[in-house]
C-alpha cells in the first residue's frame, strides 16, 4: 500500500505515520461515544413519542368524560324540571275547588312548555273513577261537548283511570282521550308507586296510545298523585283512600332526547336502557339505531356506563366514542415528534462523529510536527560543525511545535466545551438547517421542520394553559368583590401593545360591583379581548365592553367585536376543553383559553355564553352576582 506524502512550507516531505499509529484507544472511545449518544437520544425520542401519545389519549379521554357527563346531567336535570312542572299542576288542583277544562288549558298554555320543555308529548290529568261512578263520569264528560267519549278499553273493572285533560288537545293526543292507564300493567305499577309514596314516579318502557302507523317511538310516562283537598295523607292507607287522580306527562323518547340535547353529537353514540340490565329488549333509546356496527363491547376507543334513577325508576346509559373522536391532527402529533426527534438524533450523531474525525486529524498534524522536530535534531547531530544553523532550525521547529501544541490544546478545549453542552447545540441545529441548508431540503422536509418547531411551541403553550386551569381552581373568592370598571381598565392596560390599532369602547357604570376575585376576572377579560384582536379578520378590530345591572340582582357583562364570528352550531363547543374551530395555520392557540374562562365564571356562580343573535362578529355574555354595598365595603376594608 502506498503512503501519502505531505509537504510543509519549507518544502520538506514527510511520510504519514503508519496506519497502526493513527488509531488509539482514545479514537475508538470517541467513535463509541457517538453511537452511545445516538442510542440515548433515540431512547429520549421514544420517550417523547410515548409521552405525546399518552397525552393525546388522556386529553381525548378527558373530553369523552366531559361529554358523557354533560349528556347524563342534561337528562337528569331535564327530568327534574319536568317533575317541577308537574308539581305545578298538582298545586293548581290543590288551590282550586274545581279545575275546568278551560282552566287547565289556559294553565298549561301559560307554562310555555314548547319553549322551556321542548320534546314533551303532553301535559295531562287522569281522574280516578270507581266502578260505581263510571256511568256518571262518562255522562259528565259527554255533557262537556264530547258525545262519543267513553273509558277505553271497554270492560268492567273495580277501578279506572280516565284521561280527561291532555294538552295540547290535538293530533296524536286525541287518541289518548278517555284511556284507562290503570288497565295496562306497566303504567299501573308506576301510578301505584306514585300513589303510595306521594312522589313522582316514572313508568317502564311502553308504546304510547298516541302512536300511529308511522314514526313509532318507544315511550314512558311520569306521574304525580293528586289527593282530595283536606284529606289526611300521612299513612299509606290514607293516601290510597284520598287519591283523586294523577297529573302526568307522556314522552316519546326520540322527541324528548332531541328536545334535551338538540342536534346529535357527531363524536359520541349512546343508548338508554330501561332498567338496570343492558339487554336488547330493554333499549329505550339508541342514537345509533341505524348503525348496525354498534355494540356495547365494540371496537370504540372509549366506552362508559352511567346509571340514573329517574322518578324512582332505574335507567342505564352506555356511551361509546365514534371512529373520528380523535382528530387526524392530534393522531399525527406523536408521529411529528418522533420524526423531529429522529432528525435531531441523526444530526447529533453526525456532529459528534465529525468532532471525533477532526480530533484524529489534529493528532496526525501533531505527529507530523513531531517528525519535523526529530528530523531537525538528526540533522543537527550530523552537522555539528554548523551549530548556529542547527540551533536556528531547532528553534524554528520548536516554535512550530509550540504552535501545533497550542492549537491542539485549543481544539481539545473546544471539543470538551461542545461535549459538555450538547443540548445547546441541538437547539441550534434546526436554525442551521434553515439558514445554511434549506435549499437542500424538498418541500416535505421543510414542512417537517416547520411542524417540529410549531409543535414544540404549541406544547409549551398548552402546558402553560393547563397550569392556569389547575392554578385558578385553588383560588378562594369568598368575601371578595370586584369593580367591573376597574378590572376592565386593568385588563386593557395590561394588554398594552397587544391591542395594536384596535378601537376599544367601554360603557360600564361605577356601581357595577360583583362578588368575586378581581385578578381572576381580569384574566377572563384579557382572554376575551385578546381573542377579539386575534380573530379580527382583515379589518381593524372594533371592541365594545358593556356592563348592565339587571332587575334580578345580576350583572351582565358583554364583550362584542367586529371579527370573524362564531357559527351558532359551535356556540357551546368553544367552551369545551381543547376545542378548536380553526386550523393552526390560520390562528394559533390551544383550545384551552375559553375553557379556563368558563371555569372561572362558573366558580363565581355565573354563566358565560355566545350570543347567537349577534351577527356583526362575536358577542360573548357573562353574568355575575351583584355585590351589595355592605359586601363592597367589607371587601375593601379587608384588602386595606
What structural domains and CATH numbers belong to the chain?
16-58+328-440 (no CATH), 96-252 (3.30.450.350), 263-326 (no CATH), 475-639 (3.30.565.10)
Q: What is the mean pLDDT of residues 472-491?
A: 80
Which pLDDT score, from 0 to 100, does residue 402 have? Answer: 58
Which pLDDT score, from 0 to 100, does residue 60 have? Answer: 83
Distance CA 195, CA 364 (A): 103
Angle separating helix axes 422-436 and 328-382, nearest 10 degrees: 100
Lowest-confidence segment of 174-183, 335-344, 436-445, 477-486 by average pLDDT: 436-445
Q: What is the mean pLDDT of residues 45-51?
A: 85
Q: What is the mean pLDDT of residues 198-226?
A: 91
pLDDT band at residue 99, thresholds of 50, 70 and 90?
very high
Which pLDDT score, from 0 to 100, does residue 580 have? Answer: 67
DSSP state string for 417-460? HHHH-HHHHHHHHHHHHHHHSGGGS-HHHHHHHHHHHHHHHHHH
Helical segments of 383-420, H only:
387-420
Distance CA 562, CA 543 (A): 7
Which pLDDT score, from 0 to 100, does residue 222 have? Answer: 96
pLDDT digits (tens, 9 = 90+) for 328-366: 677 777 788 888 888 887 888 888 878 877 877 888 888
The number of C-alpha atoms within 13 Å of 288 and in the hemisphere containing its C-beta is: 19
pLDDT digits (tens, 9 = 90+) for 545-561: 999 988 888 999 999 98
- The percent of residues in the chain predicted with pLDDT above 70, rounded, is 78
Which pLDDT score, from 0 to 100, does residue 461 have? Answer: 47
The helix (run of H) or strand (run of E) holding residue 5 is strand 5-7
Q: What is the mean pLDDT of residues 164-177?
A: 92
Distance CA 285, CA 251 (A): 12
Which pLDDT score, from 0 to 100, does residue 139 have? Answer: 95
Which pLDDT score, from 0 to 100, does residue 125 have? Answer: 97
Which pLDDT score, from 0 to 100, does residue 381 have? Answer: 77
Q: Does the pLDDT at position 49 exceed 50? A: yes
Here the cell at position 280 is 336488547
- Helix, strand, coil share of the chain (percent; to 5): 55, 20, 30
Structure-model confidence comparison of residues 213 and 163, the more confident one: 163
Q: What is the mean pLDDT of residues 289-299?
A: 60
- Residues 354-368, buried b or exposed e (16+ Cβ, 10 A)? ebbeebbebbbeebb
317: phi then psi, degrees, rounded to nearest 5:
-110, 130
Angle separating helix axes 422-436 and 387-420, nearest 10 degrees: 90
Model's pTM, two decimal places? 0.49
Contact between 188 and 204 under an 8 Å Cβ cutoff? The reply is no
Which pLDDT score, from 0 to 100, does residue 348 have? Answer: 80
Q: Does the pLDDT at position 4 exceed 60? A: no
Distance CA 368, CA 292 (A): 81
Here the cell at position 111 is 307554562
- The percent of residues in the chain predicted with pLDDT above 90, rounded, is 35
Residue 603: strand, helix, or coil = helix
Q: Does the pLDDT at position 40 exceed 60? A: yes
Q: Which of 626, 620, 614, 604 is nearest to 527 (CA)?
A: 620
pLDDT band at residue 235, thresholds of 50, 70 and 90?
very high
Which pLDDT score, from 0 to 100, does residue 615 have? Answer: 83
pLDDT band at residue 471, thresholds of 50, 70 and 90?
low
Q: What is the mean pLDDT of residues 280-285?
A: 92
Q: Which of 587, 577, 342 is nearest to 454 (CA)?
A: 587
Distance CA 555, CA 547 (A): 7
Lowest-confidence segment of 19-23, 92-96, 287-291, 506-510 by average pLDDT: 19-23
Distance CA 371, CA 14 (A): 8
Mean pLDDT of the chain: 81
Lowest-confidence segment of 162-166, 478-482, 589-593, 602-606 by average pLDDT: 589-593
Q: Which of 467, 544, 446 is nearest to 504 (CA)?
A: 544
Report in angstroms the alpha-carbon separations of 220 from 72, 209, 263, 391. 18, 11, 22, 115
Structure-model confidence comparison of residues 580 and 395, the more confident one: 395
Place of cell 421514544: 46
Q: Does the pLDDT at position 7 exceed 60? A: no
Which pLDDT score, from 0 to 100, does residue 396 have? Answer: 73
DSSP state string for 518-576? HHHHHHHHHHHHHHHHHT-TTSPPEEEEEEEE-TTSEEEEEEEESSS---GGGTTGGGS
Lowest-confidence segment of 61-70, 115-124, 146-155, 456-465 by average pLDDT: 456-465
Q: Does the pLDDT at position 77 exceed 50? A: yes
Q: Does the pLDDT at position 325 exceed 60? A: yes
Contact between 268 and 319 under an 8 Å Cβ cutoff? The reply is yes
Q: What is the mean pLDDT of residues 395-405?
A: 62
Amino acid at each position: 500500500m502506498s503512503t501519502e506524502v505531505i509537504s510543509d512550507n519549507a518544502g520538506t516531505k514527510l511520510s504519514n505515520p503508519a496506519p497502526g499509529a493513527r488509531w488509539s484507544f482514545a479514537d475508538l472511545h470517541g467513535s463509541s461515544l457517538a453511537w452511545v449518544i445516538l442510542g440515548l437520544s433515540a431512547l429520549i425520542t421514544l420517550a417523547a413519542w410515548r409521552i405525546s401519545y399518552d397525552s393525546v389519549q388522556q386529553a381525548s379521554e378527558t373530553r369523552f368524560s366531559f361529554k358523557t357527563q354533560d349528556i347524563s346531567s342534561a337528562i337528569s336535570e331535564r327530568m327534574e324540571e319536568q317533575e317541577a312542572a308537574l308539581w305545578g299542576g298538582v298545586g293548581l288542583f290543590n288551590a282550586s275547588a274545581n279545575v275546568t277544562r278551560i282552566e287547565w288549558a289556559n294553565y298549561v298554555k301559560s307554562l310555555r312548555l314548547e319553549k322551556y320543555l321542548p320534546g314533551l308529548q303532553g301535559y295531562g290529568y287522569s281522574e280516578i273513577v270507581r266502578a260505581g261512578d263510571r256511568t256518571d263520569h262518562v255522562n259528565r264528560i259527554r255533557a262537556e261537548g264530547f258525545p262519543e267519549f267513553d273509558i277505553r278499553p271497554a270492560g268492567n273493572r273495580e277501578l279506572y283511570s280516565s284521561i280527561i285533560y291532555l294538552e295540547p288537545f290535538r293530533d296524536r293526543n286525541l287518541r289518548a282521550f278517555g284511556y284507562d292507564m290503570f288497565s295496562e300493567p306497566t303504567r299501573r305499577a308506576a301510578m301505584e308507586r306514585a300513589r303510595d309514596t306521594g312522589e313522582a314516579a316514572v313508568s317502564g318502557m311502553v308504546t304510547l296510545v298516541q302512536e300511529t302507523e308511522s314514526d313509532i317511538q318507544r315511550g314512558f310516562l311520569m306521574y304525580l298523585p293528586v289527593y282530595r283537598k283536606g284529606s289526611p295523607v300521612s299513612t299509606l292507607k290514607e293516601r290510597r283512600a284520598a287519591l283523586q287522580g294523577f297529573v302526568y306527562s307522556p314522552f316519546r323518547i326520540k322527541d324528548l332526547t332531541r328536545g334535551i340535547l338538540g342536534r346529535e353529537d357527531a363524536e359520541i353514540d349512546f343508548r338508554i336502557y330501561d332498567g338496570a340490565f343492558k339487554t336488547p329488549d330493554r333499549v329505550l333509546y339508541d342514537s345509533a339505531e341505524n348503525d348496525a356496527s354498534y355494540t356495547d363491547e365494540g371496537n370504540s376507543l372509549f366506552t362508559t356506563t352511567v346509571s340514573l334513577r329517574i322518578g324512582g325508576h332505574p335507567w342505564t346509559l352506555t356511551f361509546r366514542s365514534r371512529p373520528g373522536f380523535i382528530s387526524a391532527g392530534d393522531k399525527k402529533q406523536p408521529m411529528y415528534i418522533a420524526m423531529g426527534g429522529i432528525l435531531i438524533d441523526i444530526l447529533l450523531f453526525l456532529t459528534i462523529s465529525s468532532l471525533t474525525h477532526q480530533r484524529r486529524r489534529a493528532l496526525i498534524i501533531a505527529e507530523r510536527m513531531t517528525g519535523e522536530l526529530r528530523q531537525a535534531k538528526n540533522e543537527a547531530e550530523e552537522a555539528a560543525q554548523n551549530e548556529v544553523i542547527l540551533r536556528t532550525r531547532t528553534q524554528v521547529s520548536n516554535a512550530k511545535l509550540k504552535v501545533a501544541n497550542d492549537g491542539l490544546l485549543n481544539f481539545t478545549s473546544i471539543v470538551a466545551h461542545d461535549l459538555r453542552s450538547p443540548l445547546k447545540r441541538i437547539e441550534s441545529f434546526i436554525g442551521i438547517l434553515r439558514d445554511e441548508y434549506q435549499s437542500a431540503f424538498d418541500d416535505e422536509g421543510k414542512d417537517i421542520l416547520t411542524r417540529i418547531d410549531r409543535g414544540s411551541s404549541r406544547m409549551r403553550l398548552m402546558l402553560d394553559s393547563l397550569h392556569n386551569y389547575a392554578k385558578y381552581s385553588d383560588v378562594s373568592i369568598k368575601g371578595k368583590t370586584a369593580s367591573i370598571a376597574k378590572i376592565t381598565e386593568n385588563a386593557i392596560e395590561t394588554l398594552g401593545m397587544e391591542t395594536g390599532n384596535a378601537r376599544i369602547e367601554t360603557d360600564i357604570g361605577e356601581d357595577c360591583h360583583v362578588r368575586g376575585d378581581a385578578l381572576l376576572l381580569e384574566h377572563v377579560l384579557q382572554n376575551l379581548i385578546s381573542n377579539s384582536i386575534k380573530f379580527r379578520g382583515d379589518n381593524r378590530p372594533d371592541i365594545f365592553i358593556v356592563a348592565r345591572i339587571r332587575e334580578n340582582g345580576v350583572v351582565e357583562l358583554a364583550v362584542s367585536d367586529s371579527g370573524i364570528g362564531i357559527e351558532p352550531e359551535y356556540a357551546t363547543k368553544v367552551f369545551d376543553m381543547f376545542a378548536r374551530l380553526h386550523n393552526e395555520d390560520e390562528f394559533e392557540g390551544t383550545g384551552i383559553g375559553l375553557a379556563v374562562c368558563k371555569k372561572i365564571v362558573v366558580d363565581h356562580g355565573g354563566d358565560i355564553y355566545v350570543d347567537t343573535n349577534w351577527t356583526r362578529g362575536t358577542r360573548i355574555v357573562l353574568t355575575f352576582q351583584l355585590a351589595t354595598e355592605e359586601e363592597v365595603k367589607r371587601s375593601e376594608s379587608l384588602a386595606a
